Structure 1
Amino acid sequence: MTVSTGHERPGAELVTWLAALRTLSARAGAETDLPEVLCLVADTARTLLGFDFCGVLVPDAARERLEVQGWSGLSEEYVRRVNSDRPIRLNSGSPSTRAFHTGEPVAIRDVRIEPEFALWAGVAQDQGYRAIVAVPLIAGTEVLGTLNGYYASVHTFTRYEIERLILLANHAAIALTSARRLDELRALTGSLREQRDALARSEQIHERLLAVTLRSGGIGGIADALSDLIGRPVLIDDARQGEIARSSDGVDYPTAAVRSAMSDGEPTASTATVAEAVDGAGVPTGWLVASVRLGSEVAARIWFPGTLDSLDPLQIRAVEHASIVISVELLRVQTAAEVEHRVRGELLTDVLTGSGQLTPQLVERAQRLGHDLTVAHIAIVATLTGSGEVATRQAWQRALSAVTEVASGYQPRPLVAMHGGVLVALWPDATGTDVPPGVMVHRAMARAAPDVTATIAVSPAQATEYGDAYRIAKGALEIAVRAGRTDSVVGLEDLGVVGLLLQLDDPAKLLAYATRTLGPLLEYDAAHRTDLVSTLHTHFVCKQDRNVTAQRLMIHPNTVAQRLRRIERLCGVDLGDPAATVQFSSALMVLDVAAPR
């Protein structure tokens, strides 16, 4: 290829120019990287115009300075120093900056005497050039950069030389635009391929996790699959830090107490977002956590070691998919449990409301659910008391599930369900067990609902009269609650005379006993609108201490004494007699239980 001296006029070299420009256009429109196209522009300018060195300068990503991105003849050391040690900032007075901002060529005959070029005089001397011309690369209204030519000697640039450089720069700008568009298109195509591959991989992850539930692998199977996908151990717990599943043993997982403290920093978004678990001081613990939600409530959490920057997008996607699949599995289990509770609740209602002997159809129906009603059972009745309606309702759900789970481990299986606003369990009589059934139920409820108080009452064993057993236990429960004996397990033997009275078949007999004992007081209160019965009840609750009774009733102690004397006179008794104390205290408790409401 003929090398131009920079002083020849167009003529014989036209073919050379056209060939060079055609090559530049072809390379810019082919599968050529942008840096390679920029170097080709510099090579073409140096070849056609006879420069000793050429460079193509374009703005950096922050558009704060011009960087040499393509060059011909320049040393790599020069390029490195200009791009780092001696940057050509866009607010400087360098010829390249002026050409970039004005859109006009800028030429310097001798850089050594140019004050604005003092910053680059050293690198220019090391590279070995004295003259420079910078021509803007313009595409439409946008200045893309500059095309710079350098001569080793002092040189006066003629208008003809600059026009030829402008012509080449314009063509180079078009080639540069094409190369940039192709580069952007290649990047976009690569991004689309990555997104397509990530989507396909994401679908594979979801299908793998979903397949675990379809083959009844449960949450344990999901934990194992997720652990394999992300390459680290996994622990799954419920909203109360109760462990549901773990992928492997021998791992120092956080304890329930530690997980509870770390859960305070969990994300509150409705999507499954992975977050770093922190301690009470906000310091990362080295564990990551993702929430599993059913509706707006956190139903479970996924725990695994690591930091956020240690996860790649597919690992995060795997955790998010696992969260969705776990929520589906929890919903399935929850739905199945609700159906089971409803079916067993209907059976329990029919058993307790039946008249006397159980029908063969009812016995067979119970057998299909794993219950043998032909053996003696005890009735266990439990209630919960909490600080709020919502908290108590949620506690009931957890308590019922916990007692049902305990009962599932016994054969024949106890019948557990909600009935009449309380939890009822017909438990096969097992007098030889180490832990009494009532205690087992109380422990299960206390573990499941530690924020509320559970009170349990247990009846004697009954062969078939389960309605009577329930009535006796329910009466004992009400007496225990009214007497303040909550958070305990109460049997009839714990209630003394009242326990014996509760075993009477006819509640009317209980009411008759209470009415007979307290009748004179009831009649006097009704006739005179007084509170003798209430005073007597409060007196016994306050352990027959008149001062305490007066404080409770907010009256004077002398008034209490007057009322007690009137009670003794109306009933013809001495309240200091222990027998009278037993008689009247039991009558008051029976009246609370047996009186119609």
Structure 2
Amino acid sequence: MTTVDSGRQPGAELLTWLSALRALSSAATSAADLQHVLDQVADTARTLLGFDFCGVLTPDPAGESLVITGWSGLSADYVEHVNTDRPVRLDGGSPSKQAFQSGRPVAIRDIAGEPEFTPWGGVAREQGYRAIVCVPLIAGAEVLGTLNGYYTPVHTFTDYEIERLALLANHAAIALTSARRLDQLRQLNESLREQRDALTRSEQIHERLLAVTLRSGGLSGVAAVLAELIGRPVLIDDARNVVLAIAGDDAALPNATWRAAAVVEPPTSSAPVPVTGPDDDARYCVSIARLGDDATAARIWFPATESELDAMSVRAVEHASMVISLELLRMRTAAEVEHRLRGELLADLLGGGSVISEQVLQRAQRLGHDLTRPHVLIVGALSIAGEPAESRIYQRSLSLVGDLVRPYAPRPLSAMHRGNIVTMWPITEDEPGRAIGSGDAAAALVQRAMGSVARNVDATVTVSADPVDSTPSYAEAYRTAKGALDIALRAGRTNTVVQLADLGVVGLLLQLEDSSQLAAFARRTLGPLLDYDSSHHTDLLDTLRTYFACRNDRNRTASALHIHPNTVTQRLRRVEQLCGVELAEPSTTLQFSAALTVHDVATAG
């Protein structure tokens, strides 16, 4: 068995992974049957991660048990015994069942010490393994099964090992979804072949539509072929009414307003159905293309006429729906890999050493980024009604930012980093029309793209003050911009671009080269109050914060805190006594309000 050499350079290991994942993706979209893809998933995991055995478990047709449907290294007897005599029931306590139902990895260093593994102890000894790790195969919102790795000796699984297996499982789930779609497409072709009179044309429809994807014709090519097959113009859009492709006379197709107002009942198949519009006139038909989670991936629109589509035209639309699903899945897979690679590059730059290595420079260059130019750091956050947005909203927003930066050369680097969308935008003025010469202008573009993900989403971004051109500067600029973003959000500033200059003295504090100085400033100023509140269970710090927010008005402070004004006075006197200051002094107000503001973000980034 070939395994990845842990002594290889990171770049060599990355190339090995990319090559293996590329082979897996090719198998999933090839003529290979589903069993072959399942076996290749197991073999890829065993080859890349060095397991002694690997297996893929998926639910049986009844949905009551998990059975081994793909394996590498496991004996045929073991597979037969488990599937026939010792099935992994979904109402039991096996690690595979736990991973499948929880959607989280489960690892056992020694099965001999696990009572719940007793039913499989005999076959495990025959096969010869002691340690097992199970990770779920997740595609969208659906858990397809589990990918299991087995070691002969007792083995303690590290977080790093589990993360690598989970990363492979993500790609494997996408490959399995694609393989299943192709399997469904083949089954549909088989049913068509049973129709003697329609056999030839049905095959031609399939071959023409699938050929479009094989020659990278994209959705526009699919739309053009479908329009020719059914003799009507075709429009393909997504669930947000964004047009993906048009073929034929667009004047005969529904506009964005009509499509947004149309009542589209979720159909049970991809067969086209008439749609009622805002004027109660069913002038168009629609077919829904879905991905594995049954969500609407795309919609095919075309005019409804007096003459209904014949059986072969209906089949053509159904074929097109399937091919569109495959094409969108391919595009999604490519986008996910691209986002992951750019995220890893960004993480290396923001957390790396003092010098950008030649390897990092080459990685960046292959992805279209020129790190020899100065950049500005833009950090963005999304919120809905003042609350942080969900991760899926961030992913959709990141895709929109990716669409924004793609035409620029050199290309800005944008990825998720520690829960925010971070963009490194090159600042240059020697390529008019292809570059941005101002950090403000770049931040405004990013903020607009992030906010366009939905009407009720607010996008707030901050931008570093000056262009930076080295790894330490990148890390420092990120820390500064992230701190400014946190402060702006805590102050309720959303749906805007924030500059350090907007934050006054706090902005100056955030630019300290040593972030520990910021923490020290807050601690030095507020230390007596923090200690007193901790030991006496009082609220002096919150009282002071509210007092400043109420513009030093004690009555308003009392009302905000629901206490008597005399109590506010007593607490403020205690603050003055503990800190040896007079709150009436403007310099004291400035110092303490700044310290309060940076208290929670002193270590931002």
Task: Indicate the TM-score class for this superposition, using the shorter chain for normalisation.
Answer: 0.5 to 0.7
1:590 CA displacement: 1.3
CA shift in 2, pair 1:437/1:193, >3 Å: closer
Q: Distance in 1 between matches of 2:444 and 2:349?
A: 24
Shift of 1:280: 4.7
Letter in 2 for 1:457: T
What is the letter of the counterpart of residue 540 of structure 1?
F
In the TM superposition, residue 507 of structure 1 has moved relative to its aligned partner by 1.2
Matched, 1:337 2:335: yes
Which one of 593, 596, 601 corresponds to residue 588 of structure 1? 596
| CA distance 1:328–1:514, shift in 2 (3 Å) | same
CA gap of 1:197–1:543, structure 2 versus 1, over 3 A, is farther
Counterpart in the other structure of 2:212: 212
Match of 2:563 in 1: 555
Deviation readout 1:188-246 (Å, 9 max, x if unpaired): xxxx9993222331221121111111111110111111111111111111111111111
Deviation for aligned residue 1:567: 2.3
Paired position in structure 2 for 1:566:
574
Residues 371, 414 of structure 1: 8 Å contact kept = yes
Distance 1:382 1:252 in 2: 41
Contact 1:290 1:302 (C-alpha < 8 Å) held by counterparts: yes
Matching residue of 1:293: 290
Match of 1:422 in 2: 420
The offset of 1:523, in angstroms, is 2.8
The match for 2:223 is 223
Other structure's SS at 2:370 match: coil
What SS does the aligned partner of 1:207 have? helix
> After superposition, where does 1:407-556 map in structure 2 within 5 Å?
407-430=405-428, 432=437, 436-460=441-465, 461-464=467-470, 465-556=473-564
Aligned residues: 403
Matched residue type, 2:507? G
Misfit runs of 4+, over 6 Å = 387-391
Equivalent residues in 2 for 1:108-507, closer than 5 Å: 195-248=195-248, 250-251=250-251, 253-262=253-262, 264-269=263-268, 271-280=269-278, 283-295=280-292, 296-307=294-305, 310-386=308-384, 392-430=390-428, 432=437, 436-460=441-465, 461-464=467-470, 465-507=473-515
Q: What is the CA distance between 1:539 and its match in structure 2?
A: 2.8
- Say which SS state the counterpart of residue 448 (structure 1) adopts: coil
Query: Structure 1 stretch 448-457 or stretch 283-292: which is displaced more?
Result: 448-457
Cα gap change, 1:287/1:427 in structure 2, threshold over 3 Å: closer, same or farther?
A: same
Distance (Å, rounded) in 2 between the aligned partners of 1:453 and 1:408:
23
Please report the TM-score for the alignment, with normalisation by the length of structure 1.
Answer: 0.63
Does the Cα contact within 8 Å between 1:287 and 1:303 map onto a contact in 2? yes
Aligned partner of residue 195 in structure 2, secondary structure? helix
Stretch moving more, 564-573 or 223-232: 564-573
Extract unaligned runs of 5+ from structure 2: 1-191, 429-435
User: Cα offset for 1:297?
Assistant: 0.4
Which structure's CA Rg is the greater one?
Answer: 1
| CA 1:545–1:257: 2 relative to 1, 3 Å | farther
Task: Give the residue type in structure 1 aligned to 2:265.
Answer: E
Would you say the 8 A contact 2:376–2:439 is kept in 1? no
Cα contact 1:266–1:291 (8 A) shared by 2: no
The 3-state SS of whatever aligns with 2:390 is helix
Q: Shift of the alpha carbon at 1:255?
A: 3.0
* AA partner of residue 512 (structure 1): A
Partners of 1:257 and 1:488 lie apart in 2 by 29
Q: 1:260 to 1:405 in 2, by over 3 A?
A: same
Deviation at 1:572, TM superposition (A): 3.9
Asked whether the 8 Å contact 2:232–2:248 carries over to 1, the reply is no
TM-aligned CA distance change 1:510 to 1:291, over 3 Å: same
- Mapped to 1, the partners of 2:356 and 2:593 lie a distance apart of 37
Pick closer, same or farther for the CA change 1:541–1:250 going to 2, 3 Å: same
Structure 1: stretches of 5+ with no match in the other structure: 1-191
Conservation of the 8 A alpha-carbon contact between 1:288 and 1:308: no
Question: SS at the partner of 2:378?
Answer: strand
Aligned partners of 1:427 and 1:534: how far apart in 2? 39
Q: Which moved more, 1:243-252 or 1:359-368?
A: 243-252
